[in-house]
Amino acid sequence: MSKLLVIAEGRDGILRNVSFEAVAVAKKIDADAEIVGVVLGKEDLEEQAQELIRYGADRVIVVQHEKMKAYTSDGYGQAVLAVINDESPDGIVMGHTSIGKDLTPKLASKLDTGLISDVVAVEHNSGDVEFIRPIYSGKAFERKIITDGITFVTVRPNNIPPLDRDTTRNGEISTRKVEIKDIRTIVKDVVRKASKGVDLSEANIVIAGGRGVKSEEGFNTVHELAEVLGAAVGASRGACDAGYCDYSLQIGQTGKVVTPDLYIAVGISGAIQHLAGMSNSKVIVAINKDPEANIFGIADYGIVGDLFEVIPLLIEELKALRSTVKA
């Protein structure tokens, strides 16, 4: 029986969904594998460990340390390596998040292994486990295998559904004490800028604004619609370059790649670089006053019209819907 390690990731005291998706990926790699979860941090992690078991981990190793209050590659690296050395797993799975992207290359270097990043699907073919990942920001896909060493992958959030949560599952939770020596990069402060905690890469719904919003004030329309839908806010490069919003919102070949259930493009013409960042979304809605805009070519539903007329109507309609649902 193989043993697969899932490195979970918490935020604001709870595990991120991608941790459960990583467990599902481990199961896809080997349905019979023992799935060993690892949860890390400074605070009490018992509940996070339990939750990981409910989502399919067979047992969980908890690593708690004063020096893991904030993520650093040195601190987390030393903690995870200690667990890897104890367990000698056949594979490691982690989310392809800011932390996953930062930590896994370090581990791969230490372990002298390959690493397949940003996996969106796992398939079995003539004895090989094949990992599918987007290239050229989703303009194409590649199918990769590990040819030497352990299986080591990161998983793109929001692509592979987690297993069903089962509150009756039980598993051993153990604690691993670690010594964390020097940390060479110190996190002095964190300035929260991300909109209302809905992260772009994990959001189910994304509303993105383009040049068509015309100004910083105009961009507020996008925020208002996002708020009604509980969506994350994104933008085209045009909107970022024009200073209507922060570059951290940019979606496209430079910027973030998103695959939400619903993507609403507001005043975005649809340059090929932008389409690369969002065209794999499940349902795409385009609102643009130019009927010739490229974006309509990939949209499931389009409304040709002035966004400053359409969005207020849409907000009104959605609010009306919410109140009938509640009543």
What residues contact 105, with CB distance under 8 A and at least 6 apart? 115
Among candidates 44, 47, 54, 101, which has minimal Cα distance to 76? Answer: 101
Residue 177 or 193: the one with the smaller Cβ distance to another protein is 193
Please write down the long-range contacts of 168-172, taking CB distance under 8 Å and 24 or more positions apart. Answer: 169/53, 169/54, 169/56, 170/53, 171/53, 171/57, 171/58, 171/59, 171/60, 172/59, 172/60
The whole-angstrom separation of Cα 50 and Cα 58 is 10
Closer CB to another protein, 216 or 261, in the complex: 261
Among residues 27 and 133, whose Cβ is nearest to another protein? 133
Provide the residue count of the chain.
Answer: 327
Least distance to another protein from the beta carbon of 13, Å?
A: 16
C-alpha Rg value of the chain to the nearest Å? 21
Residue 108 C-beta: closest distance to another protein, Å: 6
Collapsing DSSP to helix, strand or coil, 238 comes out as helix
Which residue's CB is nearer to another protein, number 17 or number 204? 204
Output the smallest distance, CB 53 to another protein, in A. 27
Nearer to another protein by Cβ, of 162 and 305: the residue is 305
Residue 317 phi, psi dihedral angles, 5° rounding: -65, -40
Q: Is 14 or 321 the residue whose CB approaches another protein more closely?
A: 321
Closest by CA position to 150, among listed 97, 196, 186, 104: 104
CB 260, min distance to another protein, A: 9
- Which C-beta is closer to another protein: that of 114 or that of 171? 114
Q: How far is the CB of 194 from another protein (least distance, A)?
A: 3
Closest distance to another protein from the beta carbon of 174 (Å): 28
With beta carbons less than 8 A apart as the criterion, state whether 110 and 140 touch.
Answer: no
| 202 closest CA partner among 255, 160, 151, 146 | 160
Question: Shortest distance, CB of residue 56 to another protein, whole angstroms?
Answer: 25
Given the complex with another protein, which of 130 and 224 has the nearer CB atom? 130
Distance between start and end Cα atoms, the chain: 53
- Residue 273, burial from CB neighbour count under 10 angstroms (0-12, 13-18, 19+): middle
| Smallest distance from another protein to CB 247, Å | 4
Instruction: In whole angstroms, give the CA distance from residue 30 to residue 296.
Output: 41
171 or 305: whose CB is closer to another protein? 305
Torsion of CA 34, 203, 67, 50, to 10 degrees: -40
CB of 165 to another protein, least distance (A): 21
Q: Give CA–CA dist 279/320, Å, rounded.
A: 30
